[in-house]
Structure 1
Amino acid sequence: MVTIKEIAKAVGVSSATVSRVLNYDPALSISPAKRQAIIETAEALNYETPRNRNKATTQTAPSLLTKLVIVHFLEPSDEIADPYYIGVRLGIETRCRDLRTEIVKVFHSDALPEAGLLSGASGIIVIGKHSDHEIAWLRQHARHLVFADFDPKDDALDSVFSDVELATMKILDGLKATGYHRIGFIGSHEKLNDSVQRFAEKRCAAYIDWQRRNGTFEPDLLALADCSTGQSLRLETGYRLAHELLALSERPDVIVTSNDNMAIGAYRALQEAGLSIPNDIAVVSFNDIPVAQFLTPPLTTVRIHSEHIGETAVDLLLERLSGRSYGKQVRIATELIWRASCRKPQ
């Protein structure tokens, strides 16, 4: 049984560093190359968390899913910077390890995946947003196809996702009930089908819709990045966009960010400006990555069960391989975790 200590020795870092990387701690000061080396070493040595060691190994139709291809919308460096998407992939890999399934990973590039690689696999799981052209290509060459953390809006396709629009409404309703009035938003535009779609990202669109229905929409309270890859949702982007909101003549009294990485960047901008969280400006976010509860103050955020999304994607493939002939879409519920970064409704 491989231990954290053995992984640390192989990579040349401390056991504490390995533990923090494998628990997706983005606050850890470590180079992307070293972080990737730890993750890849753990995978190569078949490291299992204590939780998974204690689970009985399941053998649900082990002969059906013999080879799985994961097609990711991010590049490796972008995925390593985002603990949420690492969670989705590890959920897939944990389930496949139980099934003794071979996994091939294909990360984002300018070229489409090799057709022979796709057609030779039992099934394909696609992580994240993909264009209509990419989806058509994947459908043409895949035996069975499941989308994880993306709903292509085609009920013939299998997909598993969380409803971030509904989660955004939960956040905004809660903030309104708590007495917040000027609610700022930090996020990004959406790039799909080779064009930037302004205000189309689901959390952003839900924010605008909610503000308009409540008669409180102010365009100046939107701070958005023009996205091309997942880099638009990183810590440094949240830091920069928070400065844009702080430059307003009338600042927001609470900021909602599209993910916890951006919230961490916003924390730094607020603290450098000498502002108190939540007394001067509150912060709320999405994903509930492990470090969120250890920020000062702990971050209020929407818990999205990334590992369960990955596990469910594998289960949908198994259903297809067992004979299901119709499309199936699964929505994984979110949970709003109230912490000290904002007031909590009574």
Structure 2
Amino acid sequence: MVTIKEIASAVGVSSATVSRVLNYDPTLSISTKKRQAIIETAEALNYATPRNRGRGAGAMQGLKFALVHFLQPAQELIDPYYVGVRLGIENRCQALKIEVVKVFHNGNLPEAAILQGASGVVAVGHHYGEEVHWLRRHSRHLVFADFAPDDDVDDSVMSDVSIAMNRLLDGVYGMGYRRIGFLGWIDAFRDKDDIHSERRCRAFIQWMTKAGLYDPELCMVEKLTPDSGYTLAKAMLSKPNPPKILVTCNDNMAIGAYRAIHEMGLRIPDDVAVASFNDIPVAQFLGPPLSTVKIPAEVIGETAVDLLVERLTGRDVAKKVILGTEMVWRGSTMARAAAPGA
């Protein structure tokens, strides 16, 4: 496990500064450049996958791939999971000696010439509707990373968070938890008429309903903001019969939930447990360390590059690659819930 001291040494800052950045301390005054260096270094030092090592043979010099990100740079720093996806793309391209042109979201579609001048395009994150059609029109070869359109026209690589949610809920149920709350966001792009259309949320409702445990009062979603985890956790834990465990849509929301729990004078996991998704580097440094589903962000990025290379070497059938996830149990959940019906 990478340590805060190792990250601090690599960036040239104090361990306290690293800890405050990784815990999203809103009172810390630090430059965006330094914050980015800390987050990227934490992700890179955690990057232990062997696939991008020693695979430079057959390098494809002279190629250029465009990376089209659905987030703005500042938004990416708020969600380091996508830093991991991007680093996987960049590191794999570096191993193959492929140039990468990065295009972040700025509210408008990127210049078509950027896509047209690239040998292939990796679209990172959620792209919907006309944006997908636009990407297809201007890309020679296109692959989606951490997202898959509903059709089978393009290559894509992602993890199945619905399966992961089922595994997570199986685990907490086996520990004895029954009063289970969910904190998530509204995926208006997927279905503007259904506030519960986001895949983790939908899987949560289906699993809980089948188990006879679903309580609509314990399923809260809102338009995603940096404070969503905090505000939703505070609202849910203020209810007359609050849950004994909170399942959050991602680790960033879990960090906000931790803050709300601590402010309310509650203890994790004694009073309320927390489990989440992504396993960003900070998850292991929270107090207590966060139980979370590890989604292989870097490998998603690597695989997206490999899919483009396959296209360039002749494959003409679309592939949808689903990568496995791993449930990492840590101190934010008990090995066994405190009492039956918890």
What TM-score bracket applies, with the shorter chain setting the length? 0.7 to 0.9
Could you say if the C-alpha distance between residues 194 and 342 of structure 1 is closer, same or farther in structure 2, counting changes exceeding 3 Å? closer
Please report how far the alpha carbon of residue 194 of structure 1 lies from its aligned counterpart in structure 2 after TM superposition. 9.3
Q: Which amino acid aligns with 1:56?
A: G
1:215 aligns with 2:212: yes
User: Over residues 189-231 of structure 1, what are the superposed CA-to-partner deviations in whole Å (9 max), with x where a residue is unaligned?
Assistant: 102179474101110111111111122211110121124xxxx
Aligned equivalents of 1:135, 1:239: Cα separation in 2: 33
Partner of residue 305 from structure 1, selected from 296, 307, 314: 296
Instruction: State the match for 2:54 in structure 1.
Output: 56
Aligned equivalents of 1:253, 1:283: Cα separation in 2: 9
Partner of residue 73 from structure 1, selected from 59, 70, 73: 70
Please report how far the alpha carbon of residue 102 of structure 1 lies from its aligned counterpart in structure 2 after TM superposition. 1.4
Instruction: State the match for 1:316 in structure 2.
Output: 307
Q: Which amino acid aligns with 1:14?
A: V
Partner of residue 175 from structure 2, selected from 174, 178, 185: 178
Aligned equivalents of 2:242, 2:190: Cα separation in 1: 35
Instruction: State the match for 1:106 in structure 2.
Output: 103
Please report how far the alpha carbon of residue 141 of structure 1 lies from its aligned counterpart in structure 2 after TM superposition. 0.7
Aligned equivalents of 2:47, 2:322: Cα separation in 1: 28
Aligned equivalents of 1:194, 1:210: Cα separation in 2: 20
SS for the counterpart of 2:196 is: coil
1:169 aligns with 2:166: yes
Could you say if the C-alpha distance between residues 36 and 298 of structure 1 is closer, same or farther in structure 2, counting changes exceeding 3 Å? closer
Aligned equivalents of 2:282, 2:129: Cα separation in 1: 35
1:249 aligns with 2:248: no
Could you say if the C-alpha distance between residues 41 and 309 of structure 1 is closer, same or farther in structure 2, counting changes exceeding 3 Å? closer
C-alpha contact 2:39 2:80 (8 A) present in aligned 1: no
1:283 aligns with 2:274: yes
Q: Which amino acid aligns with 1:259?
A: N
Could you say if the C-alpha distance between residues 26 and 89 of structure 1 is closer, same or farther in structure 2, counting changes exceeding 3 Å? farther
User: Over residues 123-170 of structure 1, what are the superposed CA-to-partner deviations in whole Å (9 max), with x where a residue is unaligned?
Assistant: 000011111211111111100000000011222210000010110111
User: Over residues 272-321 of structure 1, what are the superposed CA-to-partner deviations in whole Å (9 max), with x where a residue is unaligned?
Assistant: 11111111111101111112112111111100110000000000000000
Normalising by structure 1, report the TM-score. 0.85
C-alpha contact 1:18 1:38 (8 A) present in aligned 2: no
Aligned equivalents of 1:61, 1:198: Cα separation in 2: 46
Instruction: State the match for 1:33 in structure 2.
Output: 32
Normalising by structure 2, report the TM-score. 0.86
Q: CA RMSD in A?
A: 3.1
SS for the counterpart of 1:192 is: coil
Please report how far the alpha carbon of residue 32 of structure 1 lies from its aligned counterpart in structure 2 after TM superposition. 5.9
State the identity %. 47
SS for the counterpart of 2:67 is: strand
1:117 aligns with 2:117: no
1:270 aligns with 2:261: yes
C-alpha contact 2:148 2:158 (8 A) present in aligned 1: yes
SS for the counterpart of 1:125 is: strand
C-alpha contact 1:190 1:196 (8 A) present in aligned 2: no
- The range that moved more, 104-113 or 132-141, is 104-113
Could you say if the C-alpha distance between residues 35 and 200 of structure 1 is closer, same or farther in structure 2, counting changes exceeding 3 Å? farther
Could you say if the C-alpha distance between residues 243 and 41 of structure 1 is closer, same or farther in structure 2, counting changes exceeding 3 Å? closer
Partner of residue 154 from structure 1, selected from 148, 151, 154: 151
Q: Which amino acid aligns with 2:54?
A: A
Q: Which amino acid aligns with 2:301?
A: G
C-alpha contact 1:26 1:81 (8 A) present in aligned 2: no
Which runs of 5 or more structure 1 residues have no equivalent in the other structure?
Answer: none
Please report how far the alpha carbon of residue 57 of structure 1 lies from its aligned counterpart in structure 2 after TM superposition. 6.0
SS for the counterpart of 2:22 is: coil
SS for the counterpart of 2:178 is: coil
How many pairs were matched up? 327
Aligned equivalents of 2:66, 2:305: Cα separation in 1: 11
Matches within 5 A, 1:173-212: 173-192=170-189, 195=192, 197-212=194-209
Aligned equivalents of 1:242, 1:193: Cα separation in 2: 24
Aligned equivalents of 1:20, 1:91: Cα separation in 2: 24
SS for the counterpart of 1:153 is: coil
